[in-house]
Amino acid sequence: MKTCSRCNVEKTYCSFNKYKRYDDGLQAWCRECHKHTKRAERYGLSQSEYLEIYHSQQSMCAGCGIHESDCRIAHAIDHNHNTGEVRGLLCNSCNRGLGLLKDDPDLLEHLASYLRTEGVYKKI
Q: State the number of CA atoms in the 13 A half-sphere of 5 facing the CB.
A: 4
Same structural domain for residues 66 and 111? yes
Number of structural domains in the chain = 2
Question: Is 74 among the domain residues?
Answer: yes
Determine which helix (DSSP H) or strand (DSSP E) holds 114, and give its type and residue range: helix 105-116
Share of the chain above pLDDT 90, in %: 90
Q: How far apart are CA 111 and CA 97, in angstroms?
A: 12
pLDDT of residue 84 exceeding 80: yes
Residue 3: which residues within 8 A CB-CB, separation 6 or more? 9, 10, 11
Give residue 48's pLDDT band: very low, low, confident or very high (50, 70, 90).
very high
The reported pLDDT for the residue numbered 20 is 93
pLDDT of residue 124 exceeding 80: no
Interval 14-26: pLDDT, tens: 999 999 999 999 9
pTM for this entry: 0.80
Same structural domain for residues 68 and 33? no
The reported pLDDT for the residue numbered 81 is 87
pLDDT of residue 86 exceeding 90: yes
CB 37 within 8 A of CB 30: no
Same structural domain for residues 3 and 38? yes
Same structural domain for residues 38 and 64? no
Angle at 37 between CA 35 and CA 38, to 5 degrees: 65
